[in-house]
Amino acid sequence: MAACVYSVERRPRIFMAERKLPTRAAILAAGCIMFLFTGTIYAWSILSSPFPVEFGWTSAQLGLNFTIVMSCFCIGGLAGSFVTRRLSARVTVLIGAVMCFLGYFLCSRITAQSLWLLYISYGGLIGLGVGFSYNAVLGTVVGWFPDKKGFASGVLLMGFGCSTLIMGNLADRLFNSAMGWRTAYLLLGAATLVVLLIGSRWVVPNPQMAAPAGSAAAPTRREYTAGQMVKTAAFWLLFFIIVCSNMIGTGVIGHSRYIAVEAGVATGITALVVGLQSVCNGLGRLAFGTLFDKKGNTFAMLTDVGCFILSCLLLLFSLRGGGAIPAVAGLLLIGFSYGGMPTMTSTVTADCFGTQNYGTNFSIANMSMLPASFGATIVGAIQTGSGTYVTAFLVFLGVTAVVILLDLAFRGAAKKL
């Protein structure tokens, strides 16, 4: 989910000291590293693994936390955009760093009687902290690439998606070592704090934000304010397309490890499967961004929903006795499909509603993750009630049919903008 700000920030005097600006390659690299540490919110199915064993918490209880963290992630992104506008992107990243550290620290103090603390610390503080830093980094870094906005967004978002493979598997190893999960959570918090503190030095706005004529960033449509955007049919069709598609993605990703186990995947490799899913998530962000540039938004959106349908069918087949291989293929494909949504959300928002108010417009479009985040809670409740994930995928197949209809309606509405 890329955010790009096309106006120069008003920055406090303390940050106005003259210094040589870093190259945009260095800024992009720093952004990738920061996203590698903040993308761990998508590794919840790995980071939550100690809690059912030690505290006996259910899938529904843990799924609710994923819903909370994704909701706070969206709220943090919107709130962070206002902080960036009034102060600076660097200050926003620093605030996010502190919130992430406090969240991990409080997580390390959780007991069986303090489920509420999990919701406040991981769900609330870490979700808000990641949201703050996410939009600030994306909005600033992509501003350095007006000629390659899709490329820069894809690279950054791939780093965010690959976090589960690298950081998630590292956390899993630490959980199973003599160190234990409590110390591991502390280390994750400290590492995130240090990386964001250092990385914030490279979160500096491009002094020449104007997009060159004829570039991919140059607006070709009317420029919509946030108020004008939300009055269009195209926006609400896009909003509900994102809600439905992301509900499938968050619903599965929040339970990936447990779905794999039910399908017969060996417990010892489930962390690897979840990690590979995050790699596919990152690849999807690049692939669908490229597809959008070459084939247009309608083709890319319909292709994405087609991948969602195939992944649900593979997982249904596996859960009904089809074996572990279709389950692995389905989980990887759903990661790929879900990865396409952030890139397409950002690209379609800019394409349809312009770039001058893109930062605020994208933050509003990204609020679609709030209702979508309930996918994990719904899946957890279905599994807890029925003892299986089969029913959840039957529901998701119905959701994909709705998405196809919305995609076709959006095509007509977008032409009227």
Residue predicted with more confidence, 281 or 220: 281
Q: Computed from CA positions of residues 289, 292, 298, 304, in that sequence, does the dihedral angle turn out positive or negative?
A: negative
% of the chain residues with pLDDT over 90: 37
Q: Which residues fall within 8 angstroms of residue 217, CB to CB, at 6 or more apart?
A: 4, 6, 146, 147, 149, 211, 350, 355
For residue 186, count CB atoms less than 10 angstroms from its CB and return exposed for 0-12, middle for 13-18, buried for 19 or more.
middle
Under 8 Å CB-to-CB from 36, ≥6 apart: which residues? 159, 160, 162, 163, 166, 167, 195
pLDDT of the residue at 355: 67
pLDDT at 229: 94
pLDDT band at 218 (very low <50, low <70, confident <90, very high): very low
pTM for the complete prediction?
0.73
- List, for residues 64-108, the tens digit of each pLDDT value: 898 899 889 989 988 988 888 888 889 999 999 999 999 999 999
> How confident is the model over 184-215, as pLDDT tens digits?
999 999 999 999 999 999 998 888 754 444 44
- Taking each helix axis from N to C terminus, what angle separates 324-353 and 233-253, rounded to the nearest 10 degrees? 150
**Residues whose CB is less than 8 angstroms from the CB of residue 254 and which lie 6 or more positions away in sequence, other chains included:** 44, 45, 63, 66, 67, 375, 376, 379, 380
Helix (H, G, I), strand (E, B) or coil at 150: helix
pLDDT exceeds cutoff 70 at 2: no
- Cite the DSSP H helix spans in 254-323: 256-262, 270-295, 297-317
91: how many CB neighbours lie within 10 A of its CB?
22
Given a cut of 50, whether residue 16 has pLDDT beyond it is no
Maximum average pLDDT range among 60-74, 75-89, 223-237, 358-372: 223-237
Q: What DSSP string describes 318-359?
A: IIIII-HHHHHHHHHHHHHHHHHHHHHHHHHHHHHH-STTHH
CA distance 366 to 385: 31
Give the mean model confidence (pLDDT) for residues 364-369.
86
On the question of pLDDT at 12 being above 50, the answer is no
CB 86 within 8 A of CB 10: yes
Quickly count helices (H) and strands (E) in the chain: 21, 0
| Angle between helix 270-295 and helix 149-161 axes, rounded to 10 deg | 170
Q: What is the pLDDT of residue 5?
A: 42
Q: Which domains does the chain have, with CATH numbers?
A: 20-205+218-415 (1.20.1250.20)
Give helix 127-142 / helix 358-366 axis angle, nearest 10°.
150
pLDDT reading at 164 higher than 80: no
Residue 251: closest CA among 84, 47, 395 = 395
Q: Spell out the SS3 assignment of 215-263.
A: CCCCCCCCCCCHHHHCCCHHHHHHHHHHHHHHHHHHHHHCCHHHHHHHC
pLDDT digits (tens, 9 = 90+) for 108-154: 999 988 999 999 999 999 999 999 998 889 878 877 877 776 677 77
| Confidence band for 3, pLDDT divided at 50, 70 and 90 | very low
Provide the pLDDT for residue 403. Answer: 93
Q: What is the mean pLDDT of residues 12-28?
A: 66
pLDDT of res. 362: 78
When the pLDDT of each residue in the chain is averaged and rounded to a whole number, the result is 84
How much is the pLDDT for 209?
A: 57
On the question of pLDDT at 59 being above 70, the answer is yes
Q: Where is average pLDDT lowest: 8-22, 27-41, 102-116, 290-304?
A: 8-22
